[in-house]
């Protein structure tokens, strides 16, 4: 019997499949389908113009990921937010690895997802801070990458600009630590046991995941809210 699919009756981007009754059906190429799905909030902006929770499909993952997209100044993927102390940030390694909280309010996206996203392209980081007087500050880093679990989610962060101060430079090249997974350089002190999960070298003066009642510290200043966001650059 003549194979109708040999005549390539389908449109570009479609695959011809034979049916049991001798007919054919044209289905969209799976690769084409994947290309239509946004890899992150930066690419989502092509079809969405409202801030909110969306599902993205990073190229380095087989599964979709729910994220909060801030569709402003080019669209950003929010990875951390502190607003009112409603979420407990004193969490285990597994919690920080998988993420926790409410994407609409306070949350940590999850270290394994930070790796998935930042390993799929080049990203920059923006940290937005509001102090107790309502004044806004920001710190932006042109390079932001998180390694995999085998590296203890090592951070790479460089290229500061902004008005908040370059206090995240101390996290560059550092392992992530939690109270049950000590990776800082102290032999007898676990910084995360007091200040919660973060990329510590020494116990520095940067504590955005600290207990909310103790204040969110960036340098020598305490802030009322914080938001960390990443944006794809290439």
Question: For position 188, what pLDDT does the model report?
Answer: 84
Question: For position 60, what pLDDT does the model report?
Answer: 78
Q: What is the DSSP string of 33-84?
A: HHHHS-SSHHHHTTT--S-EEEEE--TT-SS-EEEEEE-STT-EEEEEEESS
Query: CA-CA distance, 157 to 22, in Å (whole number)?
Result: 58
Given a cut of 80, whether residue 219 has pLDDT beyond it is: yes
pLDDT band, very low/low/confident/very high, at 42 (cuts 50, 70, 90): confident
pLDDT in tens, 145-199: 999 999 999 999 999 999 999 999 999 999 999 999 999 988 889 999 999 999 9
Average pLDDT over the chain, rounded to an integer = 87
Query: CA-CA distance, 202 to 191, in Å (whole number)?
Result: 7
Q: Residues with Cβ < 8 Å from 180, sequence gap 6 or more?
A: 92, 93
Sign, Cα dihedral of 152, 170, 205, 141? negative
Fold that domain 40-232 belongs to in CATH: Gamma Fibrinogen; Chain A, domain 1 (3.90.215)
Question: For position 186, what pLDDT does the model report?
Answer: 85
Given a cut of 50, whether residue 56 has pLDDT beyond it is: yes
Sign, Cα dihedral of 134, 71, 108, 231? negative
CA atoms within 13 A on the CB side of 23: 3
Q: Are 223 and 216 in contact (CB under 8 A)?
A: yes
For 69, which DSSP code?
A: E
74-83, 151-160, 183-192, 222-231: range with lowest mean pLDDT? 183-192
Question: For position 33, what pLDDT does the model report?
Answer: 38
Of residues 58, 69, 177, the one with CA closest to residue 121: 58
pLDDT in tens, 127-152: 999 999 999 999 999 999 999 999 99
Q: Are 183 and 150 in contact (CB under 8 A)?
A: no
Question: For position 31, what pLDDT does the model report?
Answer: 40
Given a cut of 70, whether residue 74 has pLDDT beyond it is: yes
Question: For position 61, what pLDDT does the model report?
Answer: 79
% of the chain exceeding 90 in pLDDT: 68
Map out the domains of the chain as residue ranges: 1-36, 40-232
pTM: 0.83
Q: Are 156 and 173 in contact (CB under 8 A)?
A: yes
pLDDT in tens, 202-211: 887 899 999 9
Strand partners for 97:
none
Given a cut of 70, whether residue 53 has pLDDT beyond it is: yes
Q: Residues with Cβ < 8 Å from 88, sequence gap 6 or more?
A: none
């Amino acid at each position: 019997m003549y194979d109708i699919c040999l005549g390539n009756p389908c449109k570009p981007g479609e695959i011809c499949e034979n049916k049991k009754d001798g007919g054919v059906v044209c289905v969209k190429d799976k690769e084409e389908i994947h290309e239509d799905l946004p890899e992150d909030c930066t690419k989502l902006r092509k079809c969405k113009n409202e801030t909110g929770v969306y599902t993205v499909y990073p190229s380095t993952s087989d599964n979709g990921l729910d994220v909060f997209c801030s569709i402003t100044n080019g669209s950003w993927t929010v990875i951390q937010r502190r607003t009112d102390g409603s979420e407990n940030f004193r969490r285990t390694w597994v919690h920080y690895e998988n993420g926790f909280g409410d994407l609409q309010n306070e949350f940590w996206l999850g270290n394994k997802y930070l790796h998935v996203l930042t390993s799929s392209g080049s990203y920059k980081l923006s940290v937005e801070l509001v102090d107790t007087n309502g004044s806004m500050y920001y710190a932006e880093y042109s390079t932001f990458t998180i390694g995999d679990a085998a590296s203890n989610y090592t951070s790479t962060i460089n290229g500061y600009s902004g008005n908040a101060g370059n206090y995240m430079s101390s996290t560059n090249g550092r392992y992530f630590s939690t109270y049950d997974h000590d990776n800082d350089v102290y032999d007898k002190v676990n910084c995360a046991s007091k200040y919660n999960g973060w990329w510590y070298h020494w116990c520095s003066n940067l504590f955005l995941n600290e207990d909310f009642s103790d204040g969110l510290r960036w340098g020598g200043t305490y802030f009322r809210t914080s938001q960390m966001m990443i944006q794809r650059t290439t």
